[in-house]
Amino acid sequence: MGTQVGVISDTHGLLRPEAIEALKASDLILHAGDIGKPEVLEGLRAIAPVIAVRGNNDREAWAELIPERETVEVEKVAVHILHIGQELKLGSQTANVRVVITGHSHKPRLEEQGGILFLNPGSAGPRRFKLPISVAHLHIDGTEVRAQIVELAV
């Protein structure tokens, strides 16, 4: 069966109906920061449980309880989430990590390096430059991992 994980980032306070539609089959949603306002997380929680990290623009009081990075176990796969990929420090705490999820750049990225899948879902919030509006699907089945970027028609 597996677990369907929805991945979203850089909403900057905007939860688009297209993003909700793209994530509606998710068993779990991971938000990689720059949430913008707590209503975004509430909207996502109406779909599935949410694990979020704080982005560099999440500075208000509501965001203080949100961690800057998080490692979660989905089935048998360790997934590490942080907002700014350049701040990633792989070490003893991330030794078993199979997937790294980041945001910040607004550029979708799906790349495998050294046995680790690096996934940036891109931005689902306000459009920046000519970058696409997107989210991602991460499918985890035991130790098997598949991911795809989903560009939203907005």
Q: Is the pLDDT of residue 154 over 90?
A: no
Instruction: Give me the mean pLDDT over the 58-83 stretch.
Output: 96
Beta bridge partners of 120: 109
Fold of 3-151: Purple Acid Phosphatase; chain A, domain 2 (3.60.21)
H-helix or E-strand spanning residue 20 = helix 17-23
Instruction: Give me the mean pLDDT over the 116-134 stretch.
Output: 94
Residue 93: band (very low, low, confident or very high) from pLDDT cuts 50, 70, 90? low
Q: Would you say how long the chain is, in residues?
A: 154
Instruction: Give me the mean pLDDT over the 135-140 stretch.
Output: 98
Residue 59 to residue 40: CA distance in whole angstroms: 15
CA angle 61, 63, 66 (to 5 degrees): 140
pTM: 0.96
Domain limits, the chain: 3-151
* Rounded percentage of the chain residues whose pLDDT exceeds 70: 99
